[in-house]
Amino acid sequence: MRLVLLGAPGSGKGTQAQIMQARHGLPQVSTGDLLREAVTAGTELGRAAQVVMQAGGLVADDIMLGIIRERLARADARRGFILDGFPRTQAQADGLSTLLQDLGTPLDAVVLMEVDPEVLLRRLAGRRSCRRCGRVFHIETNPPAPGDRCADGRAHDLFQRPDDNEATVRQRLSIYRERTQPLIDHYERMGLLRRIDANGTLDEVDARLEAAITPR
């Protein structure tokens, strides 16, 4: 099973990818996590990305695709993977198609998680991330379970991202719509796109997502 999860910031891509990872044993491939890992490991691509990020720029597509290629070449991705939030532009989608063709691992489906914009605003305002392990929680709908800790055994160190305020979120959603609509059209033409209603509880969305990826 090789999937891409598309959706606006706050649509629940990361949370649902974590649930699917636990259920199906497929790695969640998040570009943010990959960048942090590559920088920490000091790989060639990680060093190149760090220079760009320290200058406040956006990491170039060729660097991101190189990091993703390295990740998908690992043994745990042979059975499949869940790409969380990538690609985000048409250029990235074209690069990803070429990469996956080279690896002989074409996509099985692209799931678009659709959420009402006002719901997204509420979700993002309550979102918290862990500084240590990078996991994402929500103070109302998905807080850390009692006793839940990072992989190193320490308690989660939660913080709110500075860009999770209403004005910034509205701008991010506007940019998302502008950049992502071509991707939606692209994957629809390829016959890969599947839409789900991502409003509702975690369990409700999880059930819809599983139904969407079940072979028909």
Of the residues 13, 123, 128, 194, which is catalytic? 13
Active site residue 2: no
What is the value of pTM for the model shown? 0.77
Of the residues 47, 161, 170, 177, which is catalytic? 161
What is the C-alpha separation between 187 and 193, in angstroms, rounded? 5
Active site residue 161: yes
What is the C-alpha separation between 81 and 182, in angstroms, rounded? 23
Active site residue 194: no
Of the residues 71, 127, 128, 135, which is catalytic? 127
**205 Cβ partners below 8 Å, 6+ apart?**
12, 16, 113, 196, 197, 198, 199
Active site residue 88: yes
What is the C-alpha separation between 131 and 136, in angstroms, rounded? 10
Active site residue 69: no
Beta carbons within 10 angstroms of residue 184's beta carbon? 16
Of the residues 69, 88, 179, 195, which is catalytic? 88
Domains with residue ranges and CATH for the chain: 2-115+197-213 (3.40.50.300)
- The three-class DSSP label of residue 14 is helix
Per-residue pLDDT of the chain (216 residues; tens, 9 = 90+): 999 999 988 888 988 999 999 999 999 998 888 888 888 888 888 888 888 777 766 778 888 898 899 899 999 998 999 999 789 889 999 999 999 999 999 999 999 999 998 888 887 888 889 999 999 898 888 899 999 999 999 999 999 887 777 777 788 888 888 888 889 999 999 999 999 999 988 899 999 999 999 876
